[in-house]
Chain A
């Protein structure tokens, strides 16, 4: 049964539709990430759940109770903000204790709870430090402890890691997930970082233009994007606009190259489709006799070292492709080398495109 429900939420700011009818249903103890680029409406949705803003239309239901019009201080939502939000006039301990004091909990109870939470976030040694004496990561840990201290019904996190450096970000996101699982708290997490969302969530909802493009498990989002935008936004994807030539066999054509894609079977002949291939699924090898079946012959344009893998950009008659190879294999295919990029018939995904519109592109592959 759903514990947190966002039902048909609408929110306009003047002529801008920040939210255009979003529906979310989250079970108790589950972790959902709202993922999307700036301006997609994810923070607006979170603020509506927190009570800092009111929807123009729709309802927010927590544990069967409509909380849409309840003021934020009566909602029991723990929140961690993007900006450092600790009260500068209070120590870490006093910050964590604040919500408990408001609730009139007795001193001994407060002391135990604060010690427990500071221990949970590994900061018991810093309890008497003021925020300006803590690093960014430590401040966000205290903010998390403060949000959890009140035993909230839902934990809301608004890009809590975006101001931190990369290493701390990875450490802290793992800690957030550990604590969330340990406490079994229902969590709504806003981020624009797809790697972050995929790493720690039970479910991910990709938002764009005030609507949810797709919602599913991280694996579903990665392997089966439902829309061109999701395909573009989650991970890196080779996207080839194509026409179905033979729906029975699964043959499509892209820029004069005929490809056989299992996912195209059963499609209408002449249908416009988008063939999606992950860089790690593209097979790259040195060219010997030009292009073979289901492949593009081309030239290595750039190599980008990414540690265990190297990303190669290949160009073939105006088509740009990206392939990830183990760094050892990539050494054999230097920039300028003639290569053949094989499209795996089973590994490619397909998305229908509208017959009369471009539908693409949204983002540039070079940015990925």
Chain B
């Protein structure tokens, strides 16, 4: 009998095609970003220097990163207990919530922002005029589908009923059960919800623009319209920063143990 020694040659071919699809645009952008802004000639790191020394870059990046963290925290605080409760006590409501979670996909952001501006009109300035209030609220809604479907998959992968009852029979209260038993076992799902929320917030343009907030995507768009080479540098840097932020989340959320996070067995 002949033993297979490794993946077929065609696997490498398609892997290469896939890699090229992603790498070529990045490499082209990188080459473009090396041109000097004033002469258009290669090769200089002036565009990167311009970005790094731009105050708006750091300011908008800070705003967007903090907004992302705020959105992630609010979303997880709101949806982890809710989805846990739905799975445990009212599973018939799950399809209803799944349907609600699809609405931000269906309603275009431009319509959503007009609606939200009307709804929140009249709220205090600390909420309506600040990104930490209005924008964070809008982003929680915008990230709802990603948060819900990630967490829902996590809860479906564990036996919520048995783990909860086991924990309670050992004397644990509801909060202890949620924090010590349930949360560690949906950690991967919570992390994936956080990744997706981070990506949504760092890339969201329409709502921030129409609500007149100065976030990182707004800065990116402004640079793109006015300075071609620094825009390419900024694009690459934002790409790298997003990956860095995701890596940080992964490191923060990583656990020491060897759990698989899945409970088997019949019920």
Binding site for B on A (CB under 8 A): 50-52, 71-79, 81-91, 98-99, 102-103, 130-133, 143, 146-147, 150, 156, 162-163
Partner of B264, one of A71, A72, A83, A147: A83
Q: Which residues of B contact A162 (CB under 8 A)?
A: 266
Partner of A85, one of B187, B262, B263: B263
Closest to A96 in B: B170
- Given known contacts A73-B168, A85-B163, A163 and B259 CB-to-CB distance under 8 angstroms: no
* Complex Cα gap A223–B166 (Å): 38
- Given known contacts A73-B172, A82-B266, A87 and B261 CB-to-CB distance under 8 angstroms: no
Q: Which residues of A contact B266 (CB under 8 A)?
A: 82-83, 162-163
Partner of A79, one of B163, B166, B260: B166
Binding site for A on B (CB under 8 A): 158-159, 162-163, 165-173, 176, 180-181, 184-185, 187, 255, 257-267
* Complex Cα gap A83–B171 (Å): 19
* Nearest-Cβ distance from residue A77 to partner chain B, whole angstroms: 6
State whether B165 touches A50 (Cβ < 8 A): yes
State whether A102 touches B176 (Cβ < 8 A): yes
State whether B262 touches A82 (Cβ < 8 A): no
* Complex Cα gap A128–B176 (Å): 23
Q: Which residues of B contact A132 (CB under 8 A)?
A: 258-260, 262
* Nearest-Cβ distance from residue A88 to partner chain B, whole angstroms: 5
Q: Which residues of B contact A98 (CB under 8 A)?
A: 167, 170, 172, 180
8 A-B pairs with CB atoms under 8 Å apart are: A51-B168, A73-B170, A83-B266, A88-B185, A102-B172, A130-B258, A150-B170, A163-B265
State whether B265 touches A88 (Cβ < 8 A): no
Q: Which residues of B contact A99 (CB under 8 A)?
A: 170-171
State whether A89 touches B171 (Cβ < 8 A): no
State whether B170 touches A89 (Cβ < 8 A): no
Q: Which residues of A contact B173 (CB under 8 A)?
A: 73
* Nearest-Cβ distance from residue B185 to partner chain A, whole angstroms: 5
Q: Which residues of B contact A81 (CB under 8 A)?
A: 162, 165-166, 265
State whether B162 touches A89 (Cβ < 8 A): no
State whether B265 touches A77 (Cβ < 8 A): no
State whether B170 touches A84 (Cβ < 8 A): no
* Complex Cα gap A79–B162 (Å): 11
The 3 closest A-B pairs by CB, nearest first: A83-B265, A99-B170, A89-B184
* Nearest-Cβ distance from residue B258 to partner chain A, whole angstroms: 5
* Complex Cα gap A188–B266 (Å): 20
Partner of B169, one of A72, A82, A89: A72
Partner of A88, one of B171, B180, B261: B261
Query: Which of A77, A82, A84, A89 neighbours the largest number of chain B CB atoms within 10 Å of its CB?
Result: A89
Partner of A83, one of B170, B176, B184, B263: B263
* Nearest-Cβ distance from residue B219 to partner chain A, whole angstroms: 41
Q: Which residues of A contact B168 (CB under 8 A)?
A: 51-52, 71-73
Q: Which residues of A contact B267 (CB under 8 A)?
A: 82-83
* Complex Cα gap A50–B162 (Å): 13
* Complex Cα gap A156–B181 (Å): 21
